Chain A
Amino acid sequence: GMPVEQNPPALSLYEGADSGLRCNFSTTMKSVQWFQQNHRGRLITLFYLAQGTKENGRLKSTFNSKERYSTLHIKDAQLEDSGTYFCAAEGQEAGNTRKLIFGLGTTLQVQP
């Protein structure tokens, strides 16, 4: 299978709703990074995790290297959260090069 499987492929939420995105890894990864791709096409880093959980405002992310998954939770979704979310993992063999393996993305649409 794919080294990084991202689910769901698409998600539609109403404003104020909570939801989660998940990435499963086929092998043990060193770290994970979550990005949001905005309407202009630029990928913006949301989180970098080597382990554990991080929170930033309405977003929370968890990375469990041993269990081979990472999650991104969005609380109280807002219209500006719409976009495509990617997780990208760094394999054990990546060394210092920061070569990332990307998931296929989750397209999120937040409706009023």
Chain B
Amino acid sequence: GGIITQTPKFLIGQEGQKLTLKCQQNFNHDTMYWYRQDSGKGLRLIYYSITENDLQKGDLSEGYDASREKKSSFSLTVTSAQKNEMAVFLCASSIIGSGNTLYFGEGSRLIVV
């Protein structure tokens, strides 16, 4: 079986700082996603990527950049960290096409001081 690995598990940064989260999957999945989970607000889609070098905006893309350097990795950058952005960021992957389930990583918690 495959696995999705997110690094780092905890990311501490200062307000205004540019911070990057990384995600690696060895499922050989086409599509990868970044979700943000705030307490009491469920998961919201930030960016997704259908294939290598592809990038699609989700519902919450403002203030973020993403990069799909290769099929197995998808990184997310907070362009200017704010204290109200403290949340858990979850990476997921799936095979392209309906009927295929998503597999999630364990999440990265962003702390802004």
Contacts and interface: CB of A to CB of B under 8 A. Distances in A.
Interface string B19-48: 000000000000101010000111111001
Contacts of B88: 41
B43 A96 contact: no
Interface string A58-97: 0000000000000000000000000000101010001011
Contacts of A100: 43, 45, 102
Interface residues of B, number: 29
A27 interface: no
A99 B107 CA distance: 18
B13 interface: no
A37 B33 CA distance: 17
A50 B106 contact: no
21 contacts: A30-B98, A31-B98, A31-B99, A33-B101, A33-B102, A41-B90, A42-B106, A43-B102, A45-B103, A48-B101, A50-B99, A86-B42, A97-B31, A97-B50, A97-B56, A98-B33, A98-B97, A99-B48, A102-B35, A103-B42, A104-B42
A4 to B, nearest CB: 8
Nearest to B31: A98
B48 A104 contact: no
Contacts of B92: 43
A44 B28 CA distance: 18
B63 to A, nearest CB: 19
Contact of A41 (B50, B103, B106): B106
A31 to B, nearest CB: 7
Nearest to A2: B42
B106 A48 contact: no
A97 B106 contact: no
B107 to A, nearest CB: 4
A75 to B, nearest CB: 22
B58 A50 contact: no
